[in-house]
Structure 1
Amino acid sequence: MKRLSFLVLLFISTLSLAQQTGGPARWSAAKANAWYAREPFLVGANYAPANAINELEMFQAETFDPATIDKELAMAESIGMNTMRVFLHDLLWQDPAGFTKRLDQFLTICAKHKIRPMLVLFDSCWDPNPKLGKQREPTPGIHNSGWVQSPGADALTDVSQYPRLEAYVKGVVGAFKKDKRILAWDVWNEPDNTNDNSYGQNHTLKTEVPKPRKIAIVTSLLPHVFEWARAAGATQPLTSGIWVYRTPEEWQNPAKWTPMEKVQMENSDIITFHQYSNPETLEKTIPAMLSFGRPVICTEYMARGVASKFQTHLPIAKKAKVGMINWGFVAGKTQTFIPWDSWQKPYVNGREPAVWFHEVFKQDGTPYDPEEITAIKANTGK
């Protein structure tokens, strides 16, 4: 185990030496702010169609469903949403031509509905063992029971697969590097999330890469993912969102940041963060994020059970022009209307939570809460 970790770090060090050649740099704050000045108040959702359990099912040829995507994005347009955060996957690049074609088709549907998505390249959350082909059915009563990491544990800990990961990043970014239909690239979602309560150390599954090892590997690899995307010629901004809550005072003191947070903050063109907490916390967090002098977008929020809501959060963010992208849109196979702790306490026998955790619309297209729709429209000008 120690030898494998050493080899991973040795490979990354070698990679670093090979890449210290003055490639494209992080955007200046002036360039980032000039870009953002042209954008509206950004409001959207983390999106997968209701009939996809994960990003593989969304984009694989056998299950890609333009009709459902078109219908659901029309609903988003009707309430004034103008962006979506959408997860891709490295395994999809095993069919570069097919995947590129489907992603282009997806972007065309987005443009039809005046939506410019933020595309996520890698993701450390949930199942560490992704596989192409037919995806499993949802486990009844459990939040995100079929979402998969990218790269999976095998690829993350196998240095021989890193060139494949680089080819994926450079391939997909290169194919759409000048595409104005894309808002931005989120290069790695929650990179140091070790899924402690689902696949990690606090759960019976324990299929996750051990916590310190995973964090060390991704911390070393993440700067190169930024480099790969820049080398591919991305004209859209790059980011990787911070997700663990810190006080405003801690954000003002980089000595308090983890090595991962330093990588994220020092390489991101625009600052993105997650905020599943009450409005008072959001009001304190926004000034801290804005103090770095760059555009700010909250790429995950809205969990009703922890007082993160449209009615309270959108007005606060709009005042500061901080974009807001909630988790979930139409309830479906991801089952994210069920709370996180369902991994310990599943909602069995068809039982639903008294208050939905995420999602905006029910399967039949009616809103979960009409007052939320009113709030979204009021803040988007719809």
Structure 2
Amino acid sequence: MNRFLFLVCLCLVAMTTFGQDAPGRWSAKKANDWYAKEPFLVGANYAPANAINELEMFQAESFDPATIDKELAMAESIGMNTMRVFLHDLLWQDPAGFTKRLDQFLSICAKHKIRPMLVLFDSCWDSFPKLGKQREPVPGIHNSGWVQSPGVAALTDVSQYPRLETYVKGVVGAFKNDNRILAWDVWNEPDNTNDNSYGKNGKKLEPANKVAIVTGLLPHVFQWVRVAGASQPVTSGVWVYRTPADWQNSAKWSPMEKVQFENSDIITFHQYSNPTELEKVIPALESFGRPVICTEYMARGVNSKFQSHLPIAKKAKVGMINWGFVAGKTQTFLPWDSWQNPYVNGREPAIWFHEVFKQDGTPVDPAEVAAIKQATGK
């Protein structure tokens, strides 16, 4: 089958799920029964301070259990009980080694009473991931070394899809009954085309039909996870801003959002906006009758903060996972505008954008740590 026909078939498969639960999806009752046993979930999107991306975090040469242990102890000390952690398809070129390192990571998490949500694929940032030594951070730029999974070469080459399937089934199958894992997030921001994150020249490094490709592929990824026997809930979070009325009207959803909503056992979303908007979106997403978790929030520069958002979410028992934990090589303490105007030559952001702790272990803002502790009961 040629590439065009294959992609058409993928899209047709995706379209058949619109308006109905996809095969293998948990019932709302099963999802709610699962969530009723969980505490108020609070955590961060986590990579250790000395890892620029998910490859550097988990490759044998740079995997650093000591740093992870130290930092997750800090998370435990403020009551965090989950982390959202990104994996990568290229890591499966060493299945035994990667499985061993991931098992070790999960043991460290369990030691600190943290059950992570593991992310399998991600459409954000660099389209050309490579194994081996990762580059150093670009001075003054937010998340300058993060890499997509799969990269553009694999995404646009259907002959590599069996490799992607092997990765998903392999890693999920190895941990399918592991209660140290909270959930599987199958694809982060799948329709993100990174329009704003390639610098002043706006250089485009994405395939023109990226969204169509991923829309067709995503239902298959959900099914790969289910075929692998995952006992944990499966999700992919919506992230583009919609009004509450739009969320409750399926005619307003994009084709990608339909796939996400109709395949996810639990509803996950991103919310980089003010507390009033959070108060509006929570009831809209709860109307689907399933557990709701916010898997990205907290950007001080856009009024998304611990002090304002955690009390709102706790009242509704909506889990909250902020972006960033300890400042380091990702440089996500720098704001998004650094993509166009890097913070160099002495220019500093007025406030830190993300992160809970500075690299020396002190809080960015002690009042924030107090708010987290209050929300978690620590």
Q: TM-score, normalised by structure 1?
A: 0.95
What is the CA-CA distance between 1:205 and the residue it aligns to? 2.9
* 1:376 and 2:352 correspond: no
What is the CA-CA distance between 1:351 and the residue it aligns to? 3.5
Partner of 1:231: 227
- CA–CA distance in structure 2, aligned partners of residues 341 and 99 of structure 1: 35
Partner of 2:207: 209
Which deviates the most, 190-199 or 306-315?
Answer: 190-199
Q: Residue 342 of structure 1 aligns to a residue in which SS?
A: helix
Distance 1:174 1:15, change over 3 A: farther
> Does structure 2 retain, via aligned residues, the 8 Å contact 1:24–1:231?
no
* 1:138 and 2:137 correspond: yes
What is the CA-CA distance between 1:12 and the residue it aligns to? 3.4
Q: How large is the RMSD of aligned CA atoms in angstroms?
A: 1.8
Partner of 2:251: 255
- CA–CA distance in structure 1, aligned partners of residues 303 and 348 of structure 2: 19
What is the letter of the counterpart of residue 208 of structure 1? Answer: E
Q: Residue 321 of structure 2 aligns to a residue in which SS?
A: strand
What is the letter of the counterpart of residue 331 of structure 2? Answer: Q
Partner of 1:72: 71
> Does structure 1 retain, via aligned residues, the 8 Å contact 2:22–2:262?
no
Runs ≥4 residues deviating over 4 A: 13-16
What is the CA-CA distance between 1:197 and the residue it aligns to? 1.1
- TM-superposition CA deviations, 1:43-80 (whole Å, max 9, x none): 00000000000000000000000000000000000000
What is the letter of the counterpart of residue 296 of structure 1? Answer: V
> Does structure 1 retain, via aligned residues, the 8 Å contact 2:138–2:144?
yes
Partner of 1:117: 116
> Does structure 1 retain, via aligned residues, the 8 Å contact 2:11–2:212?
no
- CA–CA distance in structure 1, aligned partners of residues 40 and 25 of structure 2: 24
What is the CA-CA distance between 1:349 and the residue it aligns to? 2.6
Q: Residue 9 of structure 1 aligns to a residue in which SS?
A: helix
Which of 359, 363, 376 does residue 363 from structure 1 map onto? 359
> Does structure 2 retain, via aligned residues, the 8 Å contact 1:141–1:350?
no
What is the percentage of aligned positions where both structures have the same residue? 83
**Structure 1 gap segments, 5+ residues each:** 17-21
- CA–CA distance in structure 2, aligned partners of residues 270 and 74 of structure 1: 28
Partner of 2:277: 281
What is the CA-CA distance between 1:354 and the residue it aligns to? 1.3
Which residues in structure 2 correspond to 1:31-46 (within 5 Å)? 31-46=30-45
- CA–CA distance in structure 1, aligned partners of residues 68 and 349 of structure 2: 26
> Does structure 2 retain, via aligned residues, the 8 Å contact 1:8–1:158?
no
Partner of 2:128: 129
What is the letter of the counterpart of residue 109 of structure 1? Answer: I
What is the CA-CA distance between 1:8 and the residue it aligns to? 4.3
Partner of 1:221: 217
Q: TM-score, normalised by structure 2?
A: 0.95
Partner of 1:320: 316
- TM-superposition CA deviations, 1:119-167 (whole Å, max 9, x none): 0000000001000000000000000000000000000000000000000
Q: Residue 287 of structure 1 aligns to a residue in which SS?
A: helix
What is the letter of the counterpart of residue 160 of structure 1? Answer: S
Distance 1:352 1:268, change over 3 A: same
What is the CA-CA distance between 1:209 and the residue it aligns to? 1.8
- CA–CA distance in structure 1, aligned partners of residues 79 and 101 of structure 2: 25
> Does structure 2 retain, via aligned residues, the 8 Å contact 1:89–1:122?
yes
Which of 321, 328, 333 does residue 332 from structure 1 map onto? 328
* 1:297 and 2:286 correspond: no
- CA–CA distance in structure 2, aligned partners of residues 240 and 259 of structure 1: 14
- TM-superposition CA deviations, 1:300-347 (whole Å, max 9, x none): 000000000000000000000000000000000000000111111110
> Does structure 1 retain, via aligned residues, the 8 Å contact 2:11–2:215?
no
